[in-house]
Structure formats: C-alpha cells, structure tokens
Structure 1
C-alpha cells in the first residue's frame, strides 16, 4: 500500500497570511464568539454571571418590556434597508450606465464628485444635513421657495412619519458612490465586440443595455445588494449623530444599532446590561447571517457568470 505524503505548507503563505489571520482572530472572530457566549448568561449581582441558556433571547422576543422596542427597531431597520435597496441601488445603476457611455466628457470628474461624500465622516454628514434641513436656520426652505415649492417644506427630521425616510435618503446621498463604482467597473468589462455587433444589428442603446449589459452585470448587482443589506443592518453612526441613542422622535428612527447601544451601555435612566446587549448583538448577527445565506443559496446559485 502506497503511503500518502502530505506536502508541507509553504513558509511564504504563513509569512503573509499569518498576521492577517492573527488580526482577524483577535479583533473579529474572538469578539464574536465571546459575544455569543455572553448572550447565554445573565447578571446575578455585581461582577457575577450565571448561565441562563436561551433565556435572554426568550425575554428579548416575548417580554413586553423588551420585545416592543426590539420589533420596532427591527421594523425600522428593515425600512431603512428597503429605501437603500429601492433608491440607492437603482440610482447607482443609472449613474454607472450613464458614466460608462463611450465618449462622455468629464466622466472621471463625475465619478469623483459622486464618490466624494462616501469619504466624509458620517458625523460631519449628519451635522451638515441638520443645518440644511433646520426650520430655523436651514437653507432648504429658501431653496424650495426659490423654485416655487416652498409649500412642500416641513420639519422632516422632527416628524415621526418622515424622520426615518429623511435619514435614509441622506445615507443614500452619501453612499450611492459605492454601488456606482462597483457597477461601473462591471459595465466597462463588457466586451466592445458584443456592443458593436448589436449596433450593427440595429439595436437601440436601451435594448443593448437591458439585453446585453444588464445580464452580464447581474452577479455584481447581487453583490451590491448583499453589501447593502449587511451595511444597513449594521448601521448606527448616522442615526446616533442626528437623533441620538433614543432614535427620536418617539423612537421612530430607532434601529437595531441604537437599540443595542442603549441596551449594552445604558442611556439616561436606562441601566446597561452586558448580557442583554450581547443577546441583541447576537440577534443582529443571526439576522445578517440568515440574509447572507438566503442570498448565497437562493439567489447566487441562480445567477450565471459569463466569461467576457
């Protein structure tokens, strides 16, 4: 019987991958595992914890004191994501299609200007838009009146019905450059031969895009969708910077990120609970994990990649 000899791992792989694995383990994998572990315990006194099993999750989902806030935050987070999915990604696709047109002048300038807000701090973005939309000293009311639309102005950030939508649109404005660049990079990879053949056959630009370019960029569009999902269910900074940890007014902008912050660290009269905070963080992880798995096993398997 012939013995099987295992090849040694090349030293250069350990040299280059080792630091990345160590950093990922220390700052990502280990904190995640410790958070999952902590969610199974409950506080039994100062500095004391006892094993509680799934009790924290049962409390979070069924106890009226916790469940109402959790389901409200989850629903707000879902709306926050859907606005990005239905507004940000189509706008990013439209801009990418326009900028990728051959012969377009100043295309690099357009890409830079659209992507520039992505590089700015979320805190700065929130502060600037608060000033713009303020009913007291903002410029938005004057701009609307200048074009005859002054009657449409309202305190959008101060009303329960419009605060979350307004914040989501601010986030769309800031991050639309990310789907733009990803989709643009995919569009310019479409072979010129296919486009030229379609033009010779008399196809219009509209038909070329939907029947040739769009099917070829579907994998990238799927990637943009799942990145939007993960990013929005991890959102926190913009809501906290503009509306605070309570997600006002009256929790209408409260999302899972701000709910976790209040639960773990405490806020105003609410006392922080590391174990319940870990349970909220674990639920966020499970929600994101389920969304990614649905994408990988239901959507990604149906997408075909073409060699172009």
Structure 2
C-alpha cells in the first residue's frame, strides 16, 4: 500500500471517532516513520508504510489521544512531550500568550509564574517568546512536574525554568510580571466525550460550577502581581461573568480576550491601569 493510499484509508477508518481524522492519520504515520508531518506531506517519494502503523491506528480507534500515542504536541512556537499524567495543550490556551504579548508590547516580563503548569507548555512558550525572562512553574502533581522538567531540558530552558510542587500559590513569596493560569474549570456533572476522557480528571473538574479553583486563586493574585504586571487566566466559554466577579472582588481590573472561535477564553487581570 502506498503512503497516500494509507492516509486516505486511515482517515476514513478514523472518521467515526475523530473530527480531525485526516490530521490524525498524518501524525500517526509520520510518527511511525520517524519523520515530521511536514516531511511526510512534502516528500513521500521512497516512503513505505511501516508494519507498526496499524497498531498505532488501533490505539487511536480505542480512544487514545494522538498526542499520547506520539508523545508530542506542538504549542505556540515549541513542541512539548506529553504523557497521560498531563493535559494535552490546546490551541485555545495560546490565547493566554497572545494576551501577554499585547500587554507587554516591546517590553519583556522578567519573572513569569505558571500556576498549574502541567506539561510546562504555557511557561516554556512564554520563555521562548521572551529569552531574557526567568520562569517558575507550580503543580500539585509530581508526575506532571517530571514531564515539565523534561520539556525544559529538551528545549534548552532548564537554566531559566524552575518547577516546584505546590497547591496553587500557597506559601509562594515574591511578585511576578506575568502570571499564567489554566486551572480546572469543568463542572463536576458536565458530560464529556472523546479524547478528554483519557486525560487526568483532577486537571479538568472543579466542583459543581467549575469555579472551585478560581475561588481559591483569585485572593492570591493581588500579592503576586508586581507593578504593571498581568495575570492571564483561561476560562470556560460561559464563565466570563462569574470569574470576572471573583477577580473584581479582589480589586483587580479585568478584561477579556476571545479565542479563534470567538469564545471568551482568557481573562486579563491587572492591579490597575488596564491593558490597553
């Protein structure tokens, strides 16, 4: 079977379980071949479908996310390794980096904090964006922190990224120019389907309204924000009003940024003066 035929047939097979069947097929075949997806798409001459490809497709059909099968996920300008111990970084979360870039303009944040760092994707993307910055990532999961540290090392950022176990910002001292936060925000009884069912549930659910962690994080922010600093906080599409109120109650000014689908995705909190 040719590579092009394998891609077509695999995409058809995956269609019932994936909204990105063709992309899945390309990523899995590239992984099986040990090449990048771009290389696969640009030059298929001389390539043959390896025997292990069928097993990868079977894993996808069983509901395993592509990122867990390949162990890699692209995010912003970097690629990070992921395991079932961490959430899979999603394009929606890049909205936080975009908001931070707009806030700082030509300036660079010097101290960056990532609460609930998981794979380290947000923190490491920010450090890639601002090479002079130093970063700290906090997570309650030792397994997630191991993944984040490994990513920092692979990306050559281990000297600029420190990771520590912690319960949000409890016991954390000092102030930061940029705080990135992607907490659990799904309501406990909200039905889920697809890839997300395989991801760590503790990083997804946050009580009956999906607000439990926001309620804990909001009071911590005023003491952590340096003068002129910003906190970029991911929210669910219907949580703008409720989370904005929690932040405003702490004396913070709040703006919103939308993702590519037009949903409210990121709240931008500052101590004063707005973000422009």
TM range (shorter): under 0.3
Larger strand percent: 2
Structure 2 length-normalised TM:
0.25
Higher relative contact order (CA 8 A, sep 6+): 1
Task: Look at both structures and tell me which one has the larger radius of gyration over its CA atoms.
Answer: 1
Structure 1 length-normalised TM:
0.23
